[in-house]
Chain A
Amino acid sequence: MNTLVVLAAILFALMVLVGGRKGAKSFISLFINFGIIILMVFFMMDPNASPVILTLIASMLIVCINLFYVNEVNDKTKMAFVSTIATLILLFVFIYLITSGAMIQGFGEEEIDELAPFSLLIGIDFVKISVSIVIISTVGAMTDVSIAISSPMNELIQYNPLMKRRDLFASGMRIGRDILGTDTNTLFFAFIGGYLALMLWFKDLSYSFGDIVNSKVFVGEVVTILCASIGIALVIPITSWINAVYLTRKRTKEELKES
């Protein structure tokens, strides 16, 4: 039996056992997300297509799946959708500036040997691919944070219909802060796990501190983790603000209708 199939089967069984219907949905959404990423790669192969636009479309689809399929279409998920996309676009500019400045696109000298049989002149701008990597790696976490804030904010205004906009915003920020630490931690360890071999390589080949902080692979990795974490942090005020404005506006409208 193939190891991956067995692992996937165990994960599926556990998710259904613990999460029931929602667990099954989450598992299926993983598959759909995988499909979206592979499709994105396919479209990126066309030299005329812009990888940046493709990434944005793919992330929108991923956010839709994670919000509207796993949860459902309602005010909470709609607000989370708007907030995530707004943050993504904001983050995009920052990531683009950093990746093109630091020139961390493509492959490092440590990886290039195994690519010897391949042609690297494939007509795809690898700087844009680097931007895509950062965006795709953080979009899941951003959606997670966004729904975790917008859902209790919607509950809150139902229990305290007279809440001021400022207080609503503040409580959104409070909820966000609690998640911020744990989610950046998750990302951090996931990346460390992925690059443990690289760290050992640096130590085994006794790279100096100066070599490491200028090496393409290392800088690329750190930029990806940190930009992903910045995305998680930014989505908190943006979601809180969008929800606070939307919920108080909606209330004023309802009051006008009643009077």
Chain B
Amino acid sequence: MSFFRGKKKQVILYSILIFICLASLIFVYHNASFYDRSIAKVTEIELIEKEDLTDFRGNDDQQFVQRIIAVLQNGEEKGSEMELLNEYSYSGAYDYEYKVGHELFVALDQSVNKKNRLTGEIKDIKRDKYLAIVMIAFAVTLIIVGKRQGLYSVISLGVNAALLSFALDVYIKYSNISLVLICGVTAILFTTISLFLTNGINEKTYAAIIATLIGTLVSLFVTYMVIWGTDGRGLHYEEMQFLSRPYEMIFMASLFVGSLGAVMDIAITMSASIFEIYEKNRDVSIAALRKSGMEIGKDVMGTMTSILFFVYVSGSLPMLLVYLKNAAPLGFTLSINLSLELARALAGGIGIVLTIPIGLYTAIFFISRKKART
């Protein structure tokens, strides 16, 4: 009976999920009226000019001009056709080749052209549709592969994203509070929420939470001391993007948040496996636990550091290419574009490795307390 009910519950849950996915897809495909900016959908394209050109560095590229007929999707002129001109290059680093079906944000001119069509200027591309498709694909794959755990991971990512947005709002409102302090408080919330959601409320999770917090603090302290001691030599803060605030503070906060996930990952792996060994054999000695814990740590250490490394380095590819193609020297290009990314990866790596013994001893502490009680 309970099997049947479990099945039924599952069917209901899956139906709700499918409904949410479909509803949000339909919404993003028809949400033009919710925007204040004018949106036009491309219906016809004509290539009117094509030109080979070579830039002042000798790079060959091609430039194109296309005439676009698009239909307005919102506003007073909804349904009427308009004509737009678009210039784009083969590289497309900051321009776009539009195709039929693309939706664009446009600014309308007050005049009409000879063919009595509205004219205007392309401002940006409507991308929310693709954002929704990727989000749905992500949620669906995680839930199909991960079942319950997958669902909880999706939920915990959503909650964490909302929490981060809220924390930044608080920071902007009360700018006199230090960003690092806000990130610290948020980090505690992040850690407890994600670990409780994915691993349940039990001693194993308590040990992991404590290990995560100690691990991040210690590694942050080490990194801070190094930056302070070396005077930040070799770190090119001037290439930090999107700066609207003092850069050193943002950088420290980003180190903090960036390594948090990896440290959390190591902490839960350590404590889960130590507890597992203990549950299977309650008479196991502390020394044996320590030994197996270190073995497990060795296995995860390398892969975790390389995850962080790839994530940080990969984002710099377009910049590296632009610099090198503009004949910037290699050493200069690398140090300008990668110094902060490498610092993040290295600091995260230090956090990961430090958390192995920290996670191990926290779990052992919890187990020996348990042993003393019984």
Chain A residues within CB distance 8 Å of chain B:
1-8, 10-11, 14-15, 18-20, 22-23, 25-26, 29-30, 33-34, 37-38, 41-42, 44-45, 47, 62, 66, 70, 94, 98, 101-107, 110-112, 114-115, 118-127, 129-130, 132-134, 136-141, 143-144, 147-148, 173, 176-178, 180-201, 203-205, 210, 213-217, 219, 222-224, 226-230, 233-234, 236-237
Contact = CB atoms under 8 A, between A and B. Distances in A.
B57 A119 contact: yes
Given A124-B91, A177-B150, 13 more contacts: A1-B233, A11-B349, A34-B313, A41-B317, A105-B93, A106-B318, A111-B241, A122-B59, A132-B317, A134-B314, A186-B262, A194-B311, A222-B134
Contact of B344 (A121, A125, A193): A193
Nearest 6 CB-CB pairings of A with B: A193-B258, A189-B261, A26-B302, A106-B93, A102-B130, A144-B303
B85 interface: no
Chain B, interface SS category? helix
Interface residues of B, number: 130
B93 A3 contact: no
A7 B350 contact: yes
B205 interface: no
Contacts of A102: 125, 127, 130-131
Given A137-B310, A233-B145, A125 B245 contact: no
Contact of B91 (A7, A121, A224): A121
Nearest to B309: A30
Contacts of A193: 254-260, 344
Interface string B288-309: 0000001001110111111111
Contacts of A148: 303
B63 to A, nearest CB: 7
Interface in B110-160: 124-128, 130-131, 133-135, 137-138, 141-142, 145-147, 149-150, 152-153, 156-157, 160
24 contacts: A3-B230, A3-B234, A11-B346, A19-B301, A19-B302, A23-B302, A26-B306, A34-B313, A41-B324, A62-B310, A110-B241, A121-B53, A126-B93, A136-B313, A148-B303, A188-B157, A193-B255, A194-B254, A200-B242, A201-B244, A217-B242, A219-B130, A223-B130, A226-B135
Contacts of B310: 33, 62, 136-141
B125 A7 contact: no
Contact of A18 (B92, B156, B301): B301
Given A107-B94, A196-B250, A199-B165, A6 B245 contact: no
A103 B149 contact: no
B339 interface: yes
Contacts of A121: 53, 55, 59, 61, 63, 89, 91
Interface centre among A8, A132, A143, A193 (most CB of B within 10 A): A193
B73 interface: no
A101 B130 contact: yes
A141 B307 contact: yes
Nearest to A122: B325
B108 interface: no
A181 B127 CA distance: 28
A200 B168 contact: yes
Contacts of A177: 145-147, 149-150
A226 B306 CA distance: 18
B284 interface: no
Contact of A140 (B53, B244, B306, B347): B306
A1 B229 CA distance: 9
Interface stretch (B6-14, B19-27, B220-228): B220-228
B357 interface: yes
A219 B125 CA distance: 11
B291 to A, nearest CB: 13
B314 A38 contact: no
Contacts of B308: 186, 190
Contacts of B190: 189
A200 B308 CA distance: 22
